[in-house]
Structure 1
Amino acid sequence: MTFAARLQFALSQLDQAPNTTGKGMRLQKVMELVISAAPGFTLVDRNKLDMPKSAEIDLWISHDRRPVIPFIDPLVPIECKNENGKASASQIRDFAGKIQATGGSDGLLVARKGLSGEGLESAHNAIHGFLNNGIRILVLTGNDLSKMRKPSDFAPLLKERYVELRLNRTYVTL
């Protein structure tokens, strides 16, 4: 089975879990599929709790610093949100806190439905605020992932989102 077929099948199964934890794990498995196949990326750990066991990172990845990979940090956390609604400002704040607590400045949020709202309490505003404070949260959606045809599409997709974030200081296409 081709990468595109495996990815499309995995994406088609995102709603087939009995609860929110299971749904989140399904999106996490999609990202594991992408990361394990994408050139220049390595899956380092999954479902990692911090020392006080108060915060969990879904996935940790490393990369080989290719020019097309927009992360400065050599180790990047990934948060997967496979929910019925869009990711909220509070979820952005929680993820940014995890990035900061681990000494990083980069993170990847995979929010299946995108980002919520408009105005000061929107996820877009939270992304903007953290960018102003040196925390870059790249966001990919389920729609973004569904457009991938080969593993090498991943790094250019990240770069495209990075350019959008830096030029607009938020996301205009989400």
Structure 2
Amino acid sequence: MTWAACGAEPAGPVSRAIFRVARLHRLLAGQLLRSFGLHAGQEVLMMRLWETGRQRQSELMRVLDQDASTLTRMVQRLEQSGFVRRCPDPGDRRSMIVEPTPAGMALRAQVTAAWEELEATTLDGLGEKERQAAERLLGRLEANLCRAVGRDQSLGAATGPAAGPVETP
């Protein structure tokens, strides 16, 4: 259903466009990931583990900007699927360490291929200059929003491909 179909056209055309694009992007990501047993968002946690190796669950919560209950459910589901395992931290028995299993490591190529397909679909029909402009503008929007909510923009780099510095024209 569109905003207009509801009889209300809210202000903020860019914010509405971002909302629609983000919703569709996550929907397609979910469809691509489901074919090998992941749900949208779980691949980001797996990417972090592939990049850094085993991590304290509290560190994953901080870097992925998730609350404790959300991250715990995500890790439990990945553990039930056989993609990660948890064990007590030998240095602090109250903390849990999360690490990918061999089955979780085997997902890396599939997740990479899914993200490549997602990227290709998202950018279909755009030339190289348009792609670069989109990346630059999205980086600026991200920086604006990070400042507004008091978050460190560098946290975004831990949850996906590195975007690099944001250049202003």
- Is TM more than 0.5 here? no
Please give the TM-score of this superposition, normalised by the length of structure 1. 0.26
* Bigger share in strand: 1
TM norm structure 2:
0.27
Higher helix content, 1 or 2: 2
| Higher relative contact order, structure no. (Cα contacts within 8 Å, ≥ 6 residues apart) | 2
Q: Whose radius of gyration is greater, 1 or 2?
A: 2
